[in-house]
Structure 1
Amino acid sequence: MSNQSDIKDMRAWLASERSGTALALNTLRGGARIMETVGVLGRQGLSWLLGDRPPMPALLRTTFESLGTTYIKLGQFIASSPSIFPEEYVQEFQRCLDRTPALPFHYIRETIEAELGQPLESLYQSVDPKPLASASIAQVHAAKLKNGQDVVIKVQRPGVRNVLLTDFNFLYFAARITERLAPGLSKSAISGVIEELQAGMLEECDFIKEANNLTEFNAFLENTGNSRAVAPTPVMSHTTTRVLTMERFFGVPLTDMNVLRKYTDDPAETLITALNTWFSSLMLCDFFHADVHAGNLMLLEDGRIGFIDFGIVGRIRREAWDGMAQFFDAIGRGDIRQMAEAMAVIGMTREEVDVNALARDIEQLQGSLVNVDPSSLVQADRNDKEVNRLLMDLVKIGENHGIRFPREFALLLKQFLYFDRYVQVLAPEMDMFSDSRVDMFGIADDTPGGLLH
């Protein structure tokens, strides 16, 4: 008995030591990351003092790119949020790309073997050492399973989660100090936005969640009878929090018109299928794909639409989605009262909104709202200055009434921007807000491109 007790005590001690060691290592890494951040800021400040003074948006973008993962993602958030940030910052951060130098393959091998507990050769028939893609959070490699199936392996970069935690804690602390020093800024809830971004990015680091998202999205497609779209099937036996193995898709991005015409005679119908699938997911799936840029929507060789990369997803209440539809419709018709009611539904607030007072404030913008096509609100490539200014004014008015637009508002707006770019390439004559083939609020019926056909 005493021997068993000693063994238990020894195991408990070893577990405690491992936990303590991990905590100490994370603390050291966190401290090193803070020093790195301070160093980058110091170098940028010194360059400024020595006379290298680019415009503030450009300086901020290059600083963010120097700081890496967290700040690159934050820069992309700025680029896709014309409703929140000034036009010059939105434009500058369009250049903030999430591309990083590829990791040497031995890091990829070591991570896969550590996560899956077997030699690489025992797990896969082959793995291409040259990556298909290399971003700030993960690197992707083509591979074959032992049964010959083509797959891709998404491997998380070393230390990414710890960097995100350290960076966001630093940003949150700085935001709270800023809000205390400038109380007028608290209405914009800077620290709240940072908290929401942190939650979204940490979720992106959990590949088990992403694998579950893939499975759930395919279940949604099956349940709605949609055989014209598909997401990759994850290989759960070869997947952990930091390694995701999934089915490989072969096809072309939806924006590659030259190659696209080899696969379809009707690019517009292809786009309508993608739109109807995505709109349907807003109401009939627990989440929506929140990153449908050109690399994440494909036309596959068999004619189906492939949705890939479910690391970033959004969730929206039915009421909030209805509110957004009313918001766009009200702007198009110049209905100030309905616009105020929609903003109260979309926004997050702890206080009762005086809709009449909100409508009176919005009415002061009426000159700007006359003859504004609601579709222009999501067509930033066509009307940047007017749209950004209008959205900024509306957001500020909302803040004055205690309304804070949720992260999902920015995510949805970002997807509309992406889809508008698809429209410009594939069907420039189409208006996705009024085209009868596009069903924004449910499953399409017997229209061409409808989900059930």
Structure 2
Amino acid sequence: MSFLFSWRRRIADIARVRRVVEVLIRNGLGFLVQQLALDRFLPRFWRTRGLRAEQAASRRTVPERLRRTLEELGATWVKLGQFLSGRADLLPPAYIEELSKLLDAAPPVPIDQVRDVIIREMGAPVEELYASFDEVPIASASIGQVHRATLPNGQEVVVKVQRPGIEAEVEADLNLLLAQARFLERRTEVMREQNLVAIVEQLARSLREELDYHREGRNAERLRANLASDPRFAVPGVCWDLTTRRVITMEFLDGIQFNEVERLRAAGYDLPSVARVAVEGYLAQIFDAGFYQADPHPANLLVMGERIGILDFGNVGQLTGNQKQLLGDLFLQILDEDVEGLARTILRMGTSRTRPSMDALERDLQRLTVRYWGASLEELSVGEMVADIFKTARQHKIFLPADLAQLARTILTMEGTGRMLDPDLVLVDAVRPFALRLVRSRLSPIVAGRRAVRAARLAADLFQDLPRRVDGLWDQLEAGDLSFGIDVRHLNMVVTKINSMVNRLVYAIIVAALIVGSSLILLGGRDAWVLPILGIGVPVAQIAFLGAVLAGVWLIVSLVRSRTL
């Protein structure tokens, strides 16, 4: 059975890769098939098929072709593009800009299939659960679609239903992406340095979380509690008795989306004020709570009279207390033009396999920041600057946590959404008070006291554990089991070089022995060895001498080409 299952999965993988290859070629990205070695999944007869790019593809830029390809491939690939749009440390600006336009839209699922999902998840038909259920969805995306409904008590709600079979499809795509990432890491040093597998694993975690509507509900409840004290914001409540892993029912928020600028203007709203309140709300989520809705797209924000409604909680970000403090330092150092402090903060934020050169990092940051510090506040894009700083860190082999890369994308999106309503929005002015508050809170007696208590607790644990560790070390020493490991840097490279030298030396000795041996035979006066049975004379000495000369010439040529003479 396992054999049949393995073959069936292999055939499914081949079919999936074939579709990816077809879409790539049709959109003018056929060169990626060879560069990414995707053709290794395909049967040999299929590789020879004559596929051609569409004529329209040649008129588009490569970033545009990539965006259209991802949209055509479906849910997993759209999420991959959205994920990469926040990784300015990995992709050039043209790709970031184009991937930011990705549309997560899909044709609606037939209502019969929607009803089947609800019955399987809830154990009852739609008519028993809701007083009314609108069969026409108000939104349809690659993972799920949203319908308006009314509860028996008259409350208006929205019901998001997951597409049938989407979970299995996403898992298959993720397995394919992970297999490809592992293959590319084994194949090239560049991919290993970029931690390609870790990037795909982060995407996989994010997508699996988004497929779990229970988690989305908990995210909404947490954000609702965090913003409960601010009457300017509204977060829909979750109807938990009508929520499962694949169906979520939430309070309906009625308002005008941020991307409906003309409707907002016609309704008499002060758009700069709306933009300022929305930005302040997001900065409070990030700097104060450390928990934020990570997709402030204009369609996810509503103006509801005096309040701003927030929608879609499948994608959220979270920062630790230490990350919030470092983020506050980062922004203040950016605003105060403190390059040395900025370099130190970046080093503390990330991890590095080797100790980077601080002087080189500071020089690159200086060159980067001169471009921004010379701009007016209205022209300064905080999101772009943070993304460029993270990109510089990666160039110096400093790898920042995925949470911070996600934050950079959120800030960039938030800034773009705010400037849609107010082109003169200055994000720097909004960020400074939040960053200052973070730094000041670190100096408050209460926070200092908490840190002191934590340090004392750690010290007490260490002293309590110290005798046991010393005793164990002494036992190993008495038993002769104590060993030390030494890691010599670049040892593999040295061993490889020595092996190469020894091999060449042995080869040279063999060549010399052949020359000397064949010369002695010739000096002995014997021209040929006669084969015992056939009686044919073979000029062994001459053949050995000629072979040794050719081998010697090859050795000299290889040494010259390797520049080791």
Aligned mates of 2:322, 2:301 — CA distance in 1: 27
Aligned mates of 1:374, 1:171 — CA distance in 2: 41
Report the 3-state secondary structure (helix = DSSP H, G, I; strand = E; otherwise coil) of the residue aligned with 1:295: helix
Give the equivalent residue in structure 2 for 1:411.
Answer: 406
Q: CA deviation at 1:344?
A: 1.5
Q: CA deviation at 1:286?
A: 5.6
Aligned mates of 1:419, 1:271 — CA distance in 2: 10
Which structure carries more relative contact order (alpha carbon 8 Å, separation 6+)?
Answer: 1
For residues 36-47 of structure 1, what are the structure 2 equivalents within 5 Å? Answer: 36-42=16-22, 44-45=24-25
Does residue 124 in structure 1 map to residue 124 in structure 2?
no
Give the equivalent residue in structure 2 for 1:432.
Answer: 427
Residues 374 and 247 of structure 1, relative CA distance in 2, 3 Å threshold:
same
Aligned mates of 1:359, 1:72 — CA distance in 2: 36
Residue among 54, 59, 66 paired with 1:60: 66
Give the equivalent residue in structure 2 for 1:14.
Answer: none
For residues 12-411 of structure 1, what are the structure 2 equivalents within 5 Å? Answer: 32=12, 35-42=15-22, 44-45=24-25, 48=30, 50=52, 52=54, 54=58, 55-222=61-228, 225-261=229-265, 265-285=269-289, 287-301=291-305, 303-349=306-352, 355-363=358-366, 365=368, 368=371, 371-372=374-375, 378=381, 391=387, 394-395=389-390, 397-411=392-406
* Per-residue deviation, residues 249-275 of structure 1 (Å, max 9, x unmatched): 101113433332466653333333322
Amino acid at match of 2:183: I
Aligned mates of 1:175, 1:194 — CA distance in 2: 7
Report the 3-state secondary structure (helix = DSSP H, G, I; strand = E; otherwise coil) of the residue aligned with 1:409: helix
* Per-residue deviation, residues 5-51 of structure 1 (Å, max 9, x unmatched): xxxxxxxxxxxxxxx99xx9999578536522323314644775646
Stretch of structure 1 that moved more, 204-213 or 90-99: 90-99
Q: CA deviation at 1:315?
A: 0.8
* Per-residue deviation, residues 200-227 of structure 1 (Å, max 9, x unmatched): 11101110111111111122223xx212
Amino acid at match of 2:17: T
Higher helix share: 2
Aligned mates of 2:65, 2:224 — CA distance in 1: 43
Aligned mates of 2:286, 2:82 — CA distance in 1: 23
Which structure's CA Rg is the greater one? 2
Whether contact under 8 Å (1:299, 1:305) holds in the other structure is yes
Whether contact under 8 Å (1:187, 1:400) holds in the other structure is no
Stretch of structure 1 that moved more, 241-250 or 367-376: 367-376
Stretch of structure 1 that moved more, 47-56 or 183-192: 47-56
Stretch of structure 1 that moved more, 231-240 or 362-371: 362-371
What stretches of structure 2 of length at least 5 have no aligned partner? Answer: 31-50, 439-565
Residues 228 and 103 of structure 1, relative CA distance in 2, 3 Å threshold:
same
Report the 3-state secondary structure (helix = DSSP H, G, I; strand = E; otherwise coil) of the residue aligned with 2:164: coil
Identity of matched residues, % = 30
TM-score w.r.t. the length of structure 1 is 0.80
Aligned mates of 2:277, 2:88 — CA distance in 1: 27
Q: CA deviation at 1:440?
A: 5.4
Aligned mates of 1:149, 1:32 — CA distance in 2: 45
Report the 3-state secondary structure (helix = DSSP H, G, I; strand = E; otherwise coil) of the residue aligned with 1:433: helix
Report the 3-state secondary structure (helix = DSSP H, G, I; strand = E; otherwise coil) of the residue aligned with 2:298: coil
TM-score w.r.t. the length of structure 2 is 0.65
Report the 3-state secondary structure (helix = DSSP H, G, I; strand = E; otherwise coil) of the residue aligned with 2:274: helix
Whether contact under 8 Å (2:290, 2:321) holds in the other structure is no
The total of aligned residue pairs comes to 411
Q: CA deviation at 1:412?
A: 1.9
Whether contact under 8 Å (2:378, 2:424) holds in the other structure is no
What stretches of structure 1 of length at least 5 have no aligned partner? Answer: 1-19, 381-386, 444-453
Whether contact under 8 Å (2:332, 2:435) holds in the other structure is no
Whether contact under 8 Å (1:230, 1:306) holds in the other structure is yes
Cα RMSD of the aligned pairs, angstroms, is 3.3
* Per-residue deviation, residues 134-171 of structure 1 (Å, max 9, x unmatched): 00011000001111110000001112222222212211
